[in-house]
């Protein structure tokens, strides 16, 4: 007989005894199991200031209004997002802990030799949004195009580029761009986009690969130059910024943002969460918020998101090997 936990045994025994003796009816059991009946926690594995955090808060705010329960966003930072990922994986699979992350979850294990496989230890819930990564330079560098940056980097080998963490999609994008351009760039990882953008503004680093959510206001203020981005086509929000591909460097890498729950979470709870999130994504105010953050709203089923998550894990495994990305 397989072993079960003490808590599970007590719950099963109590439920069986109560039903068997007629103390509670089936409708009462269903009412008791109503979901959600307490606050839902969103774990964000990176610091505030980046796209994951803003997406989690926007979706959480709209969900709260729908489900009648508070959605609490908890930033669990450290180790390039691994601490937050680990906290989510080890949480009870009861639908009350949700991981909001991006495709760093797919890239990091192949770079940092992590022991987890998120495609096996987490269940996909909803594909929330998509966003390109932007190559930015501080205006004091005097560079306005990718071509000018490549010329500068060749004359100044070892130029550092900031990202939101080791193993992030931005880490991969920077390494890929450096290979295609034939230049040497040093990776400077931070604990989230917020910290990276602060050092970029302070000129502690001069260039960065980051999501546009953290960059746009500084670009519009003239402090930063956005040279190009990793999308397959120009952004409708920033149409003046070319893609790296059209700039002569075939680096195409869109970042996804999505929700996961611990493995073992009941299917019906996954579907309820998916329904609540898709409903939130249809809200006009949320869509306007995403638009300002240069994030494309997606949505869809858990199965559709799961296929993307699986495919991206394989894609990043290939890229990391081809680019020979290692932790310094």
Mean pLDDT of 212-217: 90
| CB contact burial 28-37 (16+ within 10 A = b; e otherwise) | eeeeeeebbe
Is the sign of the CA dihedral 153, 154, 159, 161 positive or negative? positive
Please state, rounded to an integer, the average pLDDT across all residues of the chain: 88
pLDDT of residue 272: 98
Give the least confident one: 85-89, 239-243, 262-266, 300-304.
85-89
Give the least confident one: 13-27, 103-117, 127-141, 290-304.
13-27
Instruction: Tell me the pLDDT tens digit for each residue of 304-319.
Output: 999 999 999 899 989 9
pLDDT of residue 16: 38
Percent of the chain with pLDDT over 90: 69
pLDDT of residue 105: 85
Structure letter (DSSP) for residue 140: G
pLDDT of residue 164: 86
pLDDT category, 328, cuts 50, 70, 90?
low
**Residue 45, both tokens:** 């594995």
pLDDT category, 24, cuts 50, 70, 90?
very low
Mean pLDDT of 73-87: 87
Q: Is 144 helix (H, G, I), strand (E, B) or coil?
A: coil
Is the sign of the CA dihedral 232, 291, 205, 114 positive or negative? negative
CATH 3.20.19.10 for the 134-254 domain, yes or no: no
Contacts of 193 (CB under 8 A, 6+ apart): 46, 47, 49, 50, 51, 164, 210, 211, 213, 214
Q: Which of 41-50, 102-111, 244-253 has the highest mean pLDDT?
A: 244-253
Nearest residue to 327 (alpha-carbon basis) of 77, 44, 79: 79
pLDDT category, 263, cuts 50, 70, 90?
very high
pLDDT category, 214, cuts 50, 70, 90?
confident
Nearest residue to 193 (alpha-carbon basis) of 257, 282, 116: 257
pLDDT category, 26, cuts 50, 70, 90?
very low
Q: Is 147 exposed, middle or buried (0-12, 13-18, 19+ CB in 10 A)?
A: middle
Q: Per-domain residue ranges for the chain?
A: 38-131+255-323, 134-254
Q: Which fold has domain 38-131+255-323?
A: D-Maltodextrin-Binding Protein; domain 2 (3.40.190)
Q: Is the pLDDT of residue 140 over 70?
A: yes
Q: Is 267 exposed, middle or buried (0-12, 13-18, 19+ CB in 10 A)?
A: exposed
Residue 299 gets the label, from left (phi > 0), alpha (psi -120 to 50) or beta, of: left
Q: Is the pLDDT of residue 5 over 90?
A: no
Q: What is the pTM of this model?
A: 0.80
Mean pLDDT of 275-302: 96
pLDDT of residue 115: 66
Nearest residue to 257 (alpha-carbon basis) of 118, 131, 95, 88: 131
Instruction: Tell me the pLDDT tens digit for each residue of 62-77.
Output: 999 999 999 999 999 8
Q: Is the pLDDT of residue 173 over 90?
A: yes
Same fold, 38-131+255-323 and 134-254: yes
pLDDT of residue 231: 94
User: How many other β-carbons are positioned within 10 Å of the β-carbon of residue 327?
Assistant: 12
Mean pLDDT of 177-195: 93
Q: Do 193 and 210 contact (CB within 8 A), yes or no?
A: yes
């Amino acid at each position: 007989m397989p072993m079960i936990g003490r808590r599970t045994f007590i719950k099963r025994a109590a439920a069986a005894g109560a039903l068997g003796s007629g103390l509670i009816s089936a409708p009462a059991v269903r009412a008791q199991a109503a979901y959600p009946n307490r606050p839902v926690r969103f774990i964000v594995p990176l610091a505030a200031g980046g796209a994951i955090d803003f997406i989690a808060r926007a979706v959480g705010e709209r969900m709260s209004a729908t489900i009648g329960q508070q959605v609490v966003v908890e930033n669990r930072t450290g180790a390039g997002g691994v601490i937050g990922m680990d906290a989510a994986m080890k949480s009870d699979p009861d639908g009350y802990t949700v991981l909001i992350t991006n495709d760093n979850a797919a890239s990091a294990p192949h770079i940092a030799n992590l022991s987890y496989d998120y495609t096996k230890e987490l269940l996909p819930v909803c594909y929330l949004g998509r966003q390109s990564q932007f190559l930015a330079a501080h205006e004091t560098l005097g560079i306005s195009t990718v071509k000018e940056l490549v010329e500068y980097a060749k004359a100044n080998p070892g130029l550092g580029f900031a990202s939101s963490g080791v193993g992030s999609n931005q880490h991969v994008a920077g390494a890929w761009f450096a290979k295609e351009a034939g230049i040497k760039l040093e990776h400077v990882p931070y604990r989230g986009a917020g910290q990276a953008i602060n050092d970029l503004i302070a000129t502690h680093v001069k260039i960065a690969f980051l999501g546009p959510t953290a960059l746009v206001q500084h670009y519009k203020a003239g402090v930063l130059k956005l040279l190009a981005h990793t999308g397959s086509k120009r952004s409708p929000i920033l149409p003046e910024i070319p893609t790296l591909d059209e700039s002569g460097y075939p680096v195409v890498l869109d970042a996804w943002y999505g929700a996961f729950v611990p493995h073992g979470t009941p299917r019906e709870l996954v579907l309820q969460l998916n329904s609540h999130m898709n409903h939130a994504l249809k809200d006009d105010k949320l869509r306007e918020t995403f638009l300002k953050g240069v994030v494309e709203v997606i949505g869809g089923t858990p199965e559709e998101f799961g296929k993307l998550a699986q495919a991206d894990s394989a894609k990043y495994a290939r890229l990391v090997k081809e680019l020979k990305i290692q932790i310094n």
